[in-house]
Amino acid sequence: MDKKISLTRFIAYFEHYEPPTVAEVVKNISTGEALLLKKLDPISQREYVLSKQAADYLQTSPGAWFSLTLDSAFMGKGQAVWAILLGIVQCLLFPILIFLMTCIAVFGRALPRYVKAIDALKSPVSDWQGYVNRLQHSKIAVAREHLWLGAHATEDYPILLHRGILGEHAHFLGDSGSGKTALGMAPLLAQLISLQDSAVVVIDLKGDMPFFQTAQKGAGKRFKFFTNEVGKATHAFNPFGPFSSDHISLNQVCEVFLSALGLDHGEGYGRSYYSRVARNLLSRTIQEYPDIASFEELREKVGKLTNTISDEKDAFELIAVVESLATIPQLNYTANDLVADQAINMATVVKNREVVYFWLPAAIETASVREIAKLALYTLFTSAYQHQRQYHETPKLWVFVDEFQHVASLNFKLILQQARSMGMGIDSC
């Protein structure tokens, strides 16, 4: 800086910087440094003093290191060249890294949402699905509580249905082939499943494949299905499951089975007699054998309690129904069977908001499918009742019944009257 024209001397001149003299440097060093300095040769002493002057110069401004490094490079010192290159890389790299980190911090959380939006734009969406998506993701809370039914035929304004109204039950009427299932029930089913906030049970007594696929596609991993058709894959379903609970009495178990199996004939001469015979035999059997877990076991135990031919004749209807259901393997699994873990359990359906489809075409086997459908409805109703008592909350569940006339009966009126208080909405056609 003193003897040669350099960048450091040039900057120091304009900054009015005066480096400390040798005397000032020696005066400000410690005793230990002074003793060390005396032991050095003259060249090393000079290098030591220059390092102190350089350290003082580096404190003048942030860019002082660059001028010193550049001058050192011109003097032929290779370390200075690497220092310049590293400094340039850092000056370019650090702002880029800071910018990228800022972008990740600010926009990282929103990135998955934009990816989904882009994927949605790539995949074809029908007009109906577009309207449903806009309604379900509306910023207006009241709008999100509605279901999309369509648009007015002439005025083209939207027709919406509040889900609370649908909870009052709904029934679709029309001629055969008029579109009750495809245009009435399927759109409602798809929307209710996509909300993922309630359990859905479908009882299809016609065997409608598009209706089945609508439920399966929308539910994904929540989907389970049952069928009594021979040679078809199916989940198991044991109606005895919900009755092993402290929240239901023996008389209630009997009433549920009598109603589900069509053995409660009502009041009146003759009708009430056979209802009481079936109730008495079923009650005695369950009381005598409380661990009955399938219709196969029930058939065996009922036979032991019909001591006379007269008893057997009076209870023939109960025995015949139980024997018919005992021949269906998927209705008679036990807890030790391999299928138990994946079986349909109505208590689990209500709790985990599963989607269950009962594929029960009534064209060939009307009697059995009617009884299975009623067993599904009554066990679901009982499970909803137990869920309400156990967890002190009203469950949310929807029931769709296609070809409702096959399961409609006088004792079904009780479910329609009390289902709403259990959080159950029933839609049928």
Lowest mean pLDDT among 216-225, 251-260, 286-295: 251-260
| Tens digits of residue pLDDT in 115-137 | 666 666 666 778 888 889 889 98
pTM, 2 dp:
0.69
pLDDT at residue number 410: 59
Q: What mean pLDDT, rounded, does the chain reach?
A: 82
**100-114, 159-173, 217-231: least confident range:** 100-114
What tokens were used for 30?
């410690």
Report the candidate in 54, 61, 56 with the shortest Cα–Cα distance to residue 80. Answer: 54
Residue 412, CB-side half-sphere exposure with 13 Å CA sphere:
18
Helix (H) or strand (E) holding 13: helix 7-14
Burial of 147 per CB tally in 10 Å (0-12, 13-18, 19+) = buried
The token duo for 139 is 């910023």
Give tens-digit pLDDT for 16-65: 777 777 788 778 888 888 888 888 888 888 888 888 877 777 777 776 76
Which pLDDT score, from 0 to 100, does residue 400 have? 94
Token readout for 98 is 């800071």
Q: Cα(390)–Cα(245) distance, rounded to whole angstroms?
A: 10
Cα–Cα distance measured from residue 298 to residue 289, given in angstroms and rounded to the nearest whole number: 9
Q: Residue range 4-19: average pLDDT?
A: 70
pLDDT digit string, tens, across residues 199-228? 999 999 988 999 999 999 999 899 999 998
Residue from 165, 157, 226, 159 nearest 187 by CA? 159
| Euclidean distance between CA atoms 132 and 138, whole angstroms | 10
Q: Which of 303-312, 315-324, 397-406, 419-428 has the lowest mean pLDDT?
A: 303-312
Give the three-class secondary structure for 225.
strand
Q: What is the pLDDT of residue 106?
A: 72
Report pLDDT for 122.
Answer: 64
| pLDDT tens digits, 328-359 | 888 888 777 777 788 898 889 999 999 999 99
Buried b (16+ CB within 10 A) or exposed e, 216-239: eebbeebbbbbbbeeeeebbbbbb
Predicted local distance difference test score (pLDDT) of residue 49: 83
| Contacts within 8 Å (CB) and 24+ apart, 53-58 | 53/1, 53/19, 53/20, 53/25, 56/19, 56/20, 57/1, 57/8, 57/12, 57/17, 57/19
What integer pLDDT is reported at residue 245 of this predicted model? 58
Task: Kindly list the domain boundaries of the chain, sorted by start residue.
Answer: 7-105, 218-428
